[in-house]
Every structure is written in structure tokens, then in C-alpha cells.
Amino acid sequence: MFITGFVGSFADLVGRLQPRGFAEIILLAAIWLQYRDGRSFVTRGDVRRLLRRQDHLRMPRNFSRDFHAAVARGYLEEVEGEDGYTVATDGFRWFRDECMK
């Protein structure tokens, strides 16, 4: 997968792909954490911390709404029995399509 071989920071990835909104940035954060950090799932707090650490990215004004939008669009799905989320098929599809542009 592209993400495991990407050289650069998370902000570099966002800059390269130019996502259209915060739901897509949240999706990218989840993919980054799952594949670069080797996590089986991510929490809202994990994503929020990653976004806050980025100097050149602004934090969504309404993180909860945008996180919910990422879930509603099918980018993320809840992990049963855990307080976390994993990247869904539609999320991987969006990422693949963006990388092919």
C-alpha cells in the first residue's frame, strides 16, 4: 500500500492529496495511524492528537461533526467491543482513487 512506503510527514501526505474537507483529513489520519503506527484500530482521541501535532494543518472547528461525517460517509466503521474505529472499504476506495490522480 502507498502509505507504508510514503516518505514524509502526515502533513506532507495531506498536502500531496489535497482532500476536499475535514472528513477526508480524518480518514487520512486513521489510515496513517493504522498503517504507519501499526494500530488495529484508532480512537477519536488518537485522530485528534495527530491533527493537533501538525503545524501546517488547522484543526477542524467542529471535530465531532467532522468525525461523524467520516463515519456517515462510510470512511470509518466502529470496531465492535472497542472504543475505536477502523478504516472501512469506502475509505480505502476514496484513498486509492485519490492516490491514482
By residue range, what is the domain housing residue 40?
8-100
Q: Residue 42: pLDDT above 80?
A: yes
**Position with higher pLDDT, 55 vs 87:** 87
Instruction: Tell me, yes or no, whether 52 lies in a domain.
Output: yes
Pick the range with the lowest mean pLDDT from 4-13, 24-33, 74-83.
4-13
Query: In this structure, is residue 77 part of a structural domain?
Result: yes
Task: Give domain status of residue 1, yes or no.
Answer: no
SS3 content of the chain, % helix, strand, coil (to 5): 55, 10, 35
Give the confidence band of 56 by pLDDT, cuts at 50, 70, 90. confident
Q: Quote the number of domains for the chain.
A: 1
Residues 6+ apart with CB under 8 A from 89: 74
The CATH number linked to 71 is 1.10.10.10
Determine, yes or no, domain membership for 36.
yes
pLDDT > 80? residue 1: no
Q: Which residue has the cell 492516490?
A: 99
pLDDT at residue 7 is higher than 70: no
Is residue 3 in some structural domain?
no
In a domain, 59, yes or no: yes
Task: Give domain status of residue 2, yes or no.
Answer: no
CB 30 within 8 A of CB 87: yes
pLDDT in tens, 58-73: 778 899 999 999 999 9
The pTM of the full predicted model, rounded to 2 decimals, is 0.89
